[in-house]
Amino acid sequence: MQQQRKKIVTKVASALAGVAAIAGGILVAHSQAMPDRIKFPEGFEKGVLYQTVNRADIKQFRELYTSKSSVDAVRSGKDAPSGTVLTLVQYAAKTDDKGVPVRGADGNFVKGNVVGYAVMEKRAGWGATIPAAWRNGDWEYAAFMGDKTPNQKANANTKGCFDCHLPHAGQDFVISLAGLKGTALGAAQRPSGPGTVAVAEFLFGPEKVSVKAGQTITWTNIDSSPHQVTLQASSEFRSPVMLKGQSTSIQFNNEGTYGYICGLHPGMKGEIVVTK
Ligand code: HEC
Ligand SMILES: [Cu+2]
């Protein structure tokens, strides 16, 4: 065990040698301390199931849990209190013989095996040990395998977790905050017509849109999962996170081809072609 841990730490240290100047020993110390800091949240399922997600992009069904006291605090307008644990359970979605996820009567994907758990825990003071460049307040991250043992590989590089949640600083780094608050919007209408793109089932539709310079494209999110238009132009541009029913518009003034992805689900891709 001791030896195994030493090996992992060495590997992290060398893989991240390039950023050592900024992060220094802190990063290694953090990775090393990581698996001990967050324990598997036994009994999480006795808390509140505050959101489910059909992850069509990776064929998973997800359940998000936290304690009643944390839900109550957030719903009364406070930040998630110290001691809050958010548990995300990842199930493989059952698929038909064509590999398409099967849906139950409620419209959700049907659960297969648990493939892993992702956990966020917040404790006063924890943020101080995380390099300021990617700190998420006092949140810490950990991943567990389907059998609840630590996911060593993911835990050796939790920087990836911090990086992806960092743009959500405005909502306490909790991407599913609307679900936690109970403010997620209801039914959303699929938009149609020129210059509109629907974001549904983890796809941009149509995936490719052509417009004349000066025109505006409007994206509307139909999914209960949040999405975000992220243009990969000369400098990255991220739209606000769109909850169900929300829209975002971008005016394209310059000719060219603009590839974009979802900032939350990088596997989602689209393209805008702007002509004269
Ligand atoms: C590619 C971006 C990305 C990375 C990397 C990432 N997450 Fe997330 N995370 C999300 C999104 C998007 C959600 C919202 C739920 C969903 O769509 O599955 C989320 C939700 C969560 C939640 C539920 C609370 C919340 O913020 O909504 C937890 C807990 C969580 N992630 C933990 C982790 C852990 C632990 C890691 C690293 C092992 C990690 N995440 C890495 C994008 C990411
Ligand atoms: Cu998305």
**Domains of the chain (ranges plus CATH)?**
2-181 (3.50.70.20), 196-275 (2.60.40.420)
Ligand 1 centroid to residue 57 C-alpha, Å: 14
Ligand 1 centroid to residue 253 C-alpha, Å: 34
Residue among 68, 86, 85, 87 at smallest CA distance from 76: 68
Q: Tens digits of per-residue pLDDT, 150-204?
A: 999 999 999 999 999 998 898 999 999 988 998 765 666 777 788 899 998 899 9
Q: Which residue is it, tokens 């996820």?
A: 101
Residue 266 CB–ligand 1 contact under 6 Å: yes
Name the closest-CA residue to atom 15, ligand 1.
176
Whole-number Å distance between alpha carbons of 95 and 85 = 31
| Closest ligand 1 atom to Cα of 88 | 29
Name the closest-CA residue to atom 26, ligand 1.
174
DSSP string, the chain: -HHHHHHHHHHHHHHTGGGHHHHHHHHHHHHHHHHHHS---TTGGGSEEEEEEEETTTTEEEEEEE-HHHHHHHHTTPPPPTT-EEEEEEEEEPB-TTSPBPB-TTSSBPEEEEEEEEEEEE-TTGGGGS-TTT--TTEEEEEEETTSSB-HHHHTTTHHHHHHHGGGGGGTT-TTHHHHHT------PPP-STTEEEEETTEEESSEEEEETTEEEEEEE-SSS-B-EEEESSSEEEPPPBPTT-EEEEEE-S-EEEEEEESS-TT-EEEEEEE-
Residue 143 CB–ligand 1 contact under 6 Å: yes
Given a contact cutoff of 8 angstroms between Cβ atoms, the answer to whether 248 and 263 are in contact is no
Residue 66 CB–ligand 1 contact under 6 Å: no
Q: If 0-12 CB within 10 Å is exposed, 13-18 middle and 19+ buried, where does residue 270 land?
A: buried
Ligand 1 centroid to residue 214 C-alpha, Å: 36
Residue 174 CB–ligand 1 contact under 6 Å: yes
pLDDT, residue 24, reads 36
Residue 54 CB–ligand 1 contact under 6 Å: no
Residue among 155, 152, 173 at smallest CA distance from 164: 173
Ligand 1 centroid to residue 255 C-alpha, Å: 35
Cα distances (angstroms) measured from residue 106 to each of 18, 52, 149, 155, 179: 48, 12, 31, 34, 18
Kindly report the backbone phi and psi dihedral angles of residue 28, in degrees, each rounded to the nearest multiple of 5, phi listed first: -65, -45
Q: Which ligand is nearest to the CA of 164?
A: 1
| Residues ≥6 apart with Cβ < 8 Å to 37 | 121, 126, 140, 142
Whole-number Å distance between alpha carbons of 108 and 3 = 44
78: amino acid identity, one letter:
K
Q: How many residues does the chain have?
A: 276
What parts of the chain have a pLDDT lower than 70?
1-35, 184-188
Ligand 1 centroid to residue 216 C-alpha, Å: 31
By most ligand atoms within 8 Å of CB, the mutation choice from 48, 122, 151, 165 for ligand 1 is 165
* β-sheet bridge partners, residue 217: 250
Whole-number Å distance between alpha carbons of 42 and 204 = 38
Residue 160 CB–ligand 1 contact under 6 Å: yes
Q: Which residue is it, tokens 């209801």?
A: 186
Q: Which ligand is nearest to the CA of 222?
A: 2
